[in-house]
Structure 1
Amino acid sequence: MSRRAGSPTLETFVVFALVFALQLVVSVFQGLLGLAGFHDFLFTLYAPFDRPWTLVTSVYAHAGPMHLLSNAIALALVGFVLERKTSRFRYHAFFVVSGALAGLAQVLTSGFVAAIGLGRPTAVLGASGAVFALYGYVLGGNRVTDGVLSRFDVPEWAELLVFVVVAAAVTWATGAPGVALVAHFAGFLIGVAAGRTRLLATSQRSTHGHRKESY
């Protein structure tokens, strides 16, 4: 990716900051004007899905400064590496789509659990599902993973099982009260699947024709 095109990771940080500032403004004004729930109306994803914009706004919104900071640090560790292997558009599109799908998985799962009487439905906001998807992409799309899987001639079903186990382990390791574990798990698997297909890689011509980059 050309440096002149800008850093999509830095651009994502800017969006985080702008959305968080807007959240603060909305929170203040909803209290002053008695508009209870207006913040959730704008930023929080939960069922029923009568506010489709929250599929996007919930990805960039955060529950507080520490929530934002932790996601920003996690994004920095993977984003600056991955953005070198893809385009600005693909990076941003993948981030928001994977984050929305991860959040949707969390909400649907919690809704099902609530329907069978084993818990309560949960609401979701935050970028961790999208960030986990980036980490999953790096795992699924790097040369080391390719080399290990080809060396042991792993069948597709076993490859899928391995990635599911890894996703479960990563999810368990990040577990804490209030953490959207299903979103983490779903985001990581979405990233792995995208990495295995080199979804974000740009085609480059070499003496051997077109190829997809891995790393």
Structure 2
Amino acid sequence: MSRVSASGSPIVETLVVFLLVAVAQTIAGLVGAMVGLFVLTPPVTENPWTIVTSVYAHDNLGHLFSNSVALVLFGWPVARATSRARFHAFFVTTGALAGVSQIWVAGAVFGVNAAVLGASGAVFALLGYLLAANPIAEGLASSVQLPQWFVWLVFLAMAAVVTVATASPRAALIAHFVGFLLGLVAGRARLLKVDDRRPAESVVA
């Protein structure tokens, strides 16, 4: 198959993981093990696997559906421009960092014993990457030399605006903010860019 069609498969794979985890959550809920397996709670060292599993778990069908739609919309263009391995690594890493940030800030700053689950942090990271790494943004960055502090200020402002604009009851706003900011930084650095100068044998017909 062509590189374009192959590069879309990480989206399908992630959606399949969403569904499998949803089934596992249902089963775990019947035996009272859902929180210990899929919900990230403080201290994160108590159930460290939830740093990863919470990224793919969701609170309900509406939560699952909204994140799935956002994954397809924001993730598909990113997946086309990178490899399967890089996409999955980026998704789980940004999602995990966003979730841990939500737990830490909620506890350290607001004194709240928070719990978090869902792919929103990773999805916001995909959106941030898409905005920072698209050709228009690249053209502006190459034609206008801006101080690094100003770039960071713009990134922080964008993350704040997007987070507030998409806020909803029970939303993990810190996770959204951190995920989007990580995506912007990664997009600016073209972290997921794959060298197009590949050997011919790497393309499967």
Question: TM-score scaled by structure 2?
Answer: 0.90
Matched residue, 1:40: 35
Q: Deviations over 1:61-120 (max 9, x none)?
A: 0000000000001111011111110000000011001000000110000011244xxxx2
1:32-111 aligned at under 5 Å gives the runs: 38-49=33-44, 50-111=46-107
Identify the structure with bigger relative contact order (alpha carbons < 8 Å, sequence gap 6+): 2
In the TM superposition, residue 2 of structure 1 has moved relative to its aligned partner by: 5.1
CA distance in 2, matches of 1:4, 1:187: 26
Structure 1 partner of 2:202: none
- Match of residue 181, structure 1, among 173, 183, 186: 173
Are the counterparts in 1 of residues 8 and 76 from structure 2 also a CA contact under 8 Å? no
Residue identity opposite 2:61 in structure 1: P
Match of 1:137 among 129, 138, 146: 129
Deviation track 1:153-173 (CA, whole Å, cap 9, x = no partner) reads 221111111111011000001
**Equivalenced residues, count:** 195
Where does the alignment leave 5 or more consecutive residues of structure 1 unmatched? 31-37, 207-215
Q: Assess if the C-alpha contact under 8 Å between 1:135 and 1:191 holds in 2.
A: yes
Q: Distance in 2 between matches of 1:204 and 1:79?
A: 20
Distance in 2 of aligned mates of 1:97 and 1:159: 23
Distance 1:71 1:5, change over 3 A: closer
- After superposition, where does 1:146-165 map in structure 2 within 5 Å? 146-165=138-157
Q: Secondary structure at the match of 1:154?
A: coil
* TM-superposition CA deviations, 1:4-61 (whole Å, max 9, x none): 476000100000000001101111233xxxxxxx211000112112111001000000
State the 1:196 CA deviation: 1.1
Distance 1:6 1:154, change over 3 A: closer
